[in-house]
Amino acid sequence: MKTIDELLAEDVSGKRVLVRADLNVPLDGTTITDDGRIRAVLPTVKALAGAGARVVVASHLGRPKGAPDPAFSLAPAAARLGELLGADVAFATDTVGESARATVSGLGDGDVAVLENLRFNAGETSKDDAERGAFADQLASLADLYVGDGFGAVHRKHASVYDLPARLPHAAGYLVAAEVAVLRKLTEDVKRPYVVVLGGAKVSDKLAVIDSLLGKADRLLIGGGMAYTFLKAQGHEVGTSLLQEDQVPAVREYLERAGKNGVELVLPVDVVAAPEFPDLKTKAPAEHGTVDADAIPADREGLDIGPKTRELYASRIADAGTVFWNGPLGVFEHPDFAGGTRSIAQALVDSTAFTVVGGGDSAAAVRTLGFDENAFGHISTGGGASLEYLEGKTLPGLAALED
């Protein structure tokens, strides 16, 4: 795939370059709580603007229903991008309408603009090729060149990700190129032992990647809400913990296959349990205690891995050559249940391995808990995209950037 450096070598001065970024940042009202994804696209935007391009940044945010919704406006992200660039950033109040056309027309060389949320137009996510293509045509009319740099969306067959590159000369931005290089390290030339830490709420979200990793990883460390389905599959009582009963047979089969394949699949030996889910808004102290993972009381919910498990998992990471982590190990948003996630992050920091934090909540946890991002080998901006790549799937947004 063509790189942005190759594109810049062709002289982009005065040309309109549409950058498909991922500005899908978490918001508390209109306040951005984690600007990591905005900062991730800065190198691409700065390089293009510095070369005199007229940069048009396009992104989605959240899941609006194909129509404008103020709760999902990209205005806060546009403002933050301007702050980080130290320059004015124009904002179009629609995606391909009058405001978008006027905003793009008003750009001078080196200027930057942001379009309103792409998902305010139903054509962006439509499963109908013609509807999606029609929206891509409208977006293409706003630009001369396309740069794909929204890694968090490359696993989506959406108009701005998949259809638009076919309509314009295109290249991969710095972020996408870096993400792909890291993922190749996790799949093509892995330094062993290869340890994968998987957390998060639902085991159903991770079944495909577990299936793939059972033939590639040396160790799988399981935590988060998904761990309780594994414990149930072993015949243990899990109380009121998150449980996907319908996934127990599949999990049981994975446990058996891990043993046959020589993959060490490690489950919690103790958990931090509480009578009810904590209040994440007030973060008031919650009643809780540590219990053995095979003896969770019927009226208690497991919300974090316990201290013995934290030590166990850290020991399984200590000698790793490569570590990939996706998904928090507990309800890290509350201080009483953040210890497990913090311990995994610390284990990665202490490790001499090539460490990758797989985007989404894992990346948010690293920042929320105050870790230095530079202490990790790589922090991905796309959890879902990373997982699908590791599953061996073809990602539409990457395929579209191939020449």
Give pLDDT tens digits for 71-127. 999 999 999 999 999 999 999 999 999 999 999 999 999 999 999 999 999 999 999
C-alpha to C-alpha distance for 272 and 380, rounded to whole angstroms: 28
| Dihedral (Cα; 100, 105, 111, 116), 10-degree rounding | 0
| Dihedral (Cα; 334, 339, 343, 346), 10-degree rounding | 50
Chain centre distance of CA 205: 13
Looking at residue 337, the DSSP 8-state letter turns out to be: G
224, 339, 340, 384: which is the annotated catalytic residue? 384
The answer to whether 360 is a known catalytic residue is: yes
339, 358, 360, 382: which is the annotated catalytic residue? 360
20, 37, 156, 219: which is the annotated catalytic residue? 37
From the list 107, 98, 102, 86, the residue with the least C-alpha distance to 19 is: 107
pLDDT in tens, 307-365: 999 999 999 999 999 999 999 999 999 999 999 999 999 999 999 999 999 877 898 89
pLDDT at residue 361 in the model = 85
Task: Tell me: pLDDT of 383 over 90.
Answer: no
For residue 268, give every residue at least 6 positions away whose Cβ sits within 8 Å of its Cβ, in sequence order, or none.
Answer: 222, 223, 227, 231, 293, 302, 305, 306, 309
For residue 26, give every residue at least 6 positions away whose Cβ sits within 8 Å of its Cβ, in sequence order, or none.
Answer: 32, 33, 34, 364
Q: Are 19 and 57 in contact (CB under 8 A)?
A: yes
C-alpha to C-alpha distance for 54 and 14, rounded to whole angstroms: 6
The answer to whether 359 is a known catalytic residue is: no
185, 202, 257, 308: which is the annotated catalytic residue? 202
The answer to whether 377 is a known catalytic residue is: no
The answer to whether 283 is a known catalytic residue is: no
